[in-house]
Amino acid sequence: GIVQVANDNCPGQLVISGDRAGMEAAMEALTAAGARKVVPLAVSIAAHSPLMQPAADALRAAIDGTAIVAPVVPVIGNTTAQPLTSVDAIRAELTAQLTGSVRWTASMQAMVGAGVTTFVELGAGDVLTGLVKRIDRSAVRVAVNDPDGLRAYAATLS
């Protein structure tokens, strides 16, 4: 079967992805090896695995026809954990995220190493904020779940 690390979320938390046979074998092996917790996730796709290549190819075709500008602030790629400094790098990263492992721990460490001290999570929930806490307890972490929350947080920055 096919299986690979889909997400290196934080110390002690990895997510794997693949086909059913690969996942079942990996979960058995991890349990036998003494993994503290092995939990199957209820998902409908094998995200961040080679099984997503057809979707990656279709996405790349769409991205190639989309106007993208080079970033004016540093953007860290999740699969490379490196700054994306060109339009070509952004296009490649967006496509690679479908089939490649998300290196969240290394991405956050790269930002901390570059001097980032505050992380703001936009969207529903605070899962990523919790992961940042497990990566760097000294980081300021803020979860903003709606437009009112964003306005309120932005007001604290003035």
- What are the boundaries of each domain within the chain? 3-116, 117-158
Q: Reply yes or no on whether the pLDDT at 77 is more than 90.
A: yes
pLDDT in tens, 81-113: 999 999 999 999 999 999 999 999 999 999 999
Contacts of 104 (CB under 8 A, 6+ apart): 7, 8, 9, 10, 78, 128, 131, 135
- Please determine, for residue 154, whether its predicted confidence score (pLDDT) is greater than 90: yes
Q: Is the pLDDT of residue 158 over 90?
A: no
Mean per-residue pLDDT, 19-44: 95
pLDDT in tens, 10-30: 999 999 999 999 999 999 999
Is the Cβ–Cβ distance between 91 and 64 less than 8 Å? yes
pTM: 0.91
Beta strands in 80-150 (DSSP E): 118-122, 140-144
CATH assignment, 3-116: 3.40.366.10
Token output for 54: 């057809």
Distance separating alpha carbons of residues 126 and 75, to the nearest angstrom: 21
